[in-house]
Structure 1
């Protein structure tokens, strides 16, 4: 990114666009927010908004707590009803 701090509303609006990118990153296994941020090329504080939104709606869940105090998040496999 270019270093500017974006408005929270602007970041939140991108959640739907980022969902597939984040789920694609998690195909290789659970990752922390900093690991996800590095993989998608966005700052951690923006990725945290998207991860928490995805968690709220059941797309992600916590997997394990690292020694550094970060949770690893994994994709939730939703089965068709």
Structure 2
């Protein structure tokens, strides 16, 4: 990333595109926001918006709390809804 902070509207517009990428990453197991951000090469604050949107709509949920204080998020199976 070039270090610039994007307008929040730009970040939110990418939510549908990033949802599929995030769900694909979570196939390997639960990940924290920083782990997802590194894998996507995106800033953590942007990933937080996308993951929290996915959480709101039941696509991901918290799995465990790490020693560093981060939650690991996992994909929610359709059967769990």
- Settle same-fold status: TM greater than 0.5: yes
The equivalent of 1:54 in structure 2 is 54
Counterpart CA distance in 2 for 1:12 and 1:46 is 8
Aligned residues: 79
The equivalent of 2:17 in structure 1 is 17
Counterpart CA distance in 1 for 2:11 and 2:35 is 18
Counterpart CA distance in 1 for 2:65 and 2:74 is 12
SS of corresponding position for 1:72: strand
- For residue 31 of structure 1, report the CA deviation from its aligned partner: 0.3
- What CA deviation, in whole Å up to 9, does each residue of 1:11-70 have, x standing for no partner? 011100100100011110000000000001100000000000000001000000000000
TM-score (ref. length: structure 2): 0.95
The equivalent of 2:26 in structure 1 is 26
TM-score (ref. length: structure 1): 0.95
List structure 1 segments (4+ residues) > 6 angstroms apart after TM superposition: none
**Structure 1: which 5+ residue stretches go unaligned?**
none
**Structure 2: which 5+ residue stretches go unaligned?**
none
